[in-house]
Amino acid sequence: MKIGFIGLGIMGKPMVKNLLKAGHQVVAYDVLKENIDYVVTAGASASVSSKAVAGECDLIITMLPNGPQVREVVCGKDGVLEGAKSGTILVDMSSIAPGVAQEVSKECAKKGVKMLDAPVSGGEPKAIDGSLSIMVGGEKAVFDQVRDVLLNMGASAVLCGDIGAGNTTKLANQIIVAINIAAVSEAFTFSTKAGVDPNKVLDAIKGGLAGSTVMNAKVPMMIEGNINPGFKIDLHIKDLHNALDTGHDVGIALPFTAQIMEIFQTLRADGMGQSDHSAIAKYYEKLTGTKI
């Protein structure tokens, strides 16, 4: 299949490589030429604009930083909708506010373009090995058409409901991940301060009820002092901002989310916005004088 792919950042590049590995032709575009050059080296074809990508492909995937970029790339000048034909499918895999996905979908419908919102979880490591969790919103018939393509990039692809449901699910995921990392940071700072080897603590509890994918992935990074980004604090701030706004829109309070947001904002102020979100451990180190 010939697939258009727009947005070749930390996630988009390995996702394109997995589509190529699965035997698809990929027509790629990004605002940064070096990102296009990277995927062309891997076997993709380069394009000159989002409009041009849409003119060549019946299936278009976007992987962009946030809602404003999705609006611009899809609905703006030289955007997807200027080049797309009726019957084109757009799969937006960006993590954005559900309301924005719904707004963009309405604009797509005016051109006869079907849209799914399909954000992912797993960060760069799972983008590289093709084991992302993909959360999808939209029509089942459209999902069924592209499910196999999504599974070239992910270990699972679940239809969660109508358009916007994918991003609602992703925001729930991001709330859980953020609070889990904070809980792990607090617990391992506590046990370290009390004089217990964090490696022993991890071995003892990872198989029990407290065990989690977050613990297994992030605690070794905390012990090593490794804050190289698999998922950046700045991006998690963006997701929590969307979660808080959406929560307020639907009329609920998110007190833990708000608290973690302030921890992330503190880390950003300390110059760690581009660090991995496991750097929450650095917040506790600053607070307690204890390094895990």
**CA 107 – CA 7 distance, rounded (Å):** 20
Tokens linked to 56? 């060549």
SS3 labels along 187-250:
HHHHHHHCCCCHHHHHHHHCCCCCCCHHHHHHHHHHHHCCCCCCCEHHHHHHHHHHHHHHHHHH
What residues act catalytically? Answer: 170
Q: What is the rounded distance in angstroms from the CA atom of residue 117 to the CA atom of residue 250? A: 19
Q: How far apart are CA 36 and CA 140, in angstroms?
A: 32
**Rounded Cα gap, residues 255 and 178, in angstroms:** 13
Tell me which residue of 171, 179, 275, 269 sits closest to 230, measured CA to CA. Answer: 275
End-to-end CA distance of the chain: 48
With beta carbons less than 8 A apart as the criterion, state whether 240 and 260 touch: yes
CB neighbour list of residue 209: distance below 8 Å, 6 or more residues apart: none
- CB proximity list for 104: less than 8 A, separation 6 or greater: 70, 71, 74, 75, 92, 115
Strand partners, 91: 61, 116
